[in-house]
Copies of this chain bind each other. A is one copy, B any other.
Amino acid sequence: MGKRIVVIGAVACGPKSACRAKRLMPEAEVTLIDKDDLISYGGCGIPYYISGDIPDENQLRETSFHMVRDEYFFHHAKGIDHVLTRTLATEIDRERKVVKVKHLDSGEENEIPYDNLVLATGSTPFVPPIPGRDLEGVFAISNLHKAIEIKQRLARGEIERAVIIGAGPIGLEMAEAFADLWGIETTVLEYFDQVLPRLIDPPLARMVEHHLREKGVKVVVNARIKEIRGKDGRVTEVVEERGSYPADIVVFATGVRPNTELARKAGLLVDRGIVVNDRLQTSDPNIYAGGDCIETTHLVTGKRVVLPLGSLANRQGRVIGDNLAGRPTRFPGVVGAFIMKCFDLAIGACGLSLSVARAEGFDAFYALNNQTERAHYYPEAEFIFVELVADRRIRRVLGFQAVGPKTDGTLARIHAISSILPHRPTVEDLISLELAYAPPFNSALDPIHDVAHTAENILTGLLVQIDWEEALRRLREGDPNTVFVDTRHPREAEPLVKKYPGRWIHVEYDKVRGEMDKIPRDKDVILICNSSRRAYEAQRWLMAAGYERTFVPPGGLNFLRRWGVEL
């Protein structure tokens, strides 16, 4: 027998590292341990299992050729020498190089010697200490068993009203699972002032919130939960500062925490997650770690982050497998590429959002764009809304976000940016990206090009913007020093010209140069169109004619529409 490899954790990173190591070193003796009996399941598929899109939980455990990934599978197909489920690793003795384990069914304890150890201990849902969190019917989805339990309740018709706590990706996916296919009255409570906090910024988050509401999901931001109440030990409502939400089920989706106790007890270097180098070695070179339990380097900030994503766990597993076999493969770090479905929307991002970029000390600004995902004349082309975050001083691209229809168009743009982000592109580098075009799939200039053009125009002072919030405030308060100039078709402008006489005027796009005398020189001029492209061109003419205070709200009226804002 070759060297002894023990892998703790058998969901994503663990099995991947075990199997890759075994393929590279068939002579090695590989042991795979997990405290659960359901292993190697597609955890990211749980919301679709709960919704019913995926009828059977075994589908989350099957290979593409329909073998269930159980103990038999890993032993016989993958050749893992020992597959120990319902087995808890309780302690690592690094001196003697043994793992102490407890077999949960028999209570038996013993030791497993290793030459190399892999920690793939995953993460545990974080549940804030809210009174009532232990009531029956309050869940956090820590594993497939919990998902099965929730689905059984749904199937038995026991759930009419659901409250989700946390509007991150999992919270929103769960909200859709409840509301869409099961028709459950669903409320999402979010501590921050927007959905998907830190991941996307308000211009796109407001769009998602509006969409959720259109789909019948109640979204409460700035929620301050006081307690969860129950009757006969069973949850009945969630009490928030400003109201109370009846609930037959409460699901916490308030993030996860890396499982680091085992590593910490063994004296390994642990910060928020287990600290590893770029070959995924811990502070003990014989011990590797990967998946949700580690810290990795964020390639935009250069700082260490915990980023618990199934895709990273799989990639890290292969890197560990290589290193176990003496191949010095590296895991260079992360850029935080993310994609999700939310009812009829695709939402994606990578790098830093504006709020995070500013908190990290960048001189960050943002540019918005919206355009059709395909040539605008191609049938059924729908709009994609994107935000680019960049640093004003060094012109570096820091992040990118998109919300589009539930096609793969959003994925396409995130794929492009997440691939290039480790190369520290500037705004100009995005303008130079070559992005394939044919009318059924794209415009001649990709939405990435267009938003990069906008960002460059901002950087060079060609385009001067005003935040929509400020523009809306001035409109609503009737600010006498501001006039709105609508450059759209007369039919589009007319209702607003009537509603805001003297303050909302119409000068059509192609007449701006000829009818400039209609536009006052002594006021702030806010230029309006649907996407801000015509408004930008109008601004160029006005600036050339000496107008000093002209402003364009980013992204145009299309954003307001998607926020559900009526002018």
On A, residues with C-beta under 8 Å from B are 12, 23-24, 26-27, 42, 44-45, 48, 53-54, 59-60, 62-67, 72-73, 76-79, 169, 309-315, 318, 329-332, 334-341, 346, 348, 350, 371-373, 375-379, 406-423, 428, 431-442, 444-446, 449, 453, 462, 488-489, 509-511, 513-514, 529-531, 534, 537, 540-541, 544
Contacts and interface: CB of A to CB of B under 8 A. Distances in A.
Contact of A540 (B26, B48, B414): B26
7 contacts: A60-B377, A331-B432, A341-B441, A410-B441, A411-B412, A416-B416, A420-B420
A91 to B, nearest CB: 31
Nearest 4 pairs of A and B residues by beta carbon: A408-B408, A26-B544, A311-B437, A339-B436
Nearest to A407: B408
Nearest to A404: B408
A115 to B, nearest CB: 19
A76 B510 contact: yes
Contact of A408 (B309, B372, B412): B412
Given A26-B540, A441-B339, A407 B407 contact: yes
Given A412-B415, A420-B419, A377 B45 contact: yes
A379 B54 contact: yes
A19 to B, nearest CB: 9
A334 B435 CA distance: 10
A376 B435 contact: no
Contact of A438 (B339, B376, B438): B339
A407 B489 CA distance: 34
B79 A541 contact: yes
Identify the interface centre among A334, A336, A415, A445: most chain B CB within 10 Å of its CB. A415
Contacts of A26: 540-541, 544
B511 A437 contact: no
Given A26-B541, A48-B378, A513-B79, A335 B434 contact: yes
Contacts of A509: 65, 67, 77
A76 B379 CA distance: 29
Given A314-B444, A409-B411, A488-B65, A436 B371 contact: no
A437 B44 contact: yes
Nearest to A530: B65
A408 B402 CA distance: 15
Nearest to A339: B436
Contact of A350 (B78, B409, B432, B434): B434
B436 A337 contact: yes
Contacts of A418: 416, 433-436
A325 to B, nearest CB: 10
Contact of A311 (B12, B53, B73, B444): B444
Contacts of A407: 407-408
A436 B510 contact: no
B375 A332 contact: no
Contacts of A79: 513, 541
Contacts of A169: 438
A65 B489 contact: yes
A534 B375 contact: no
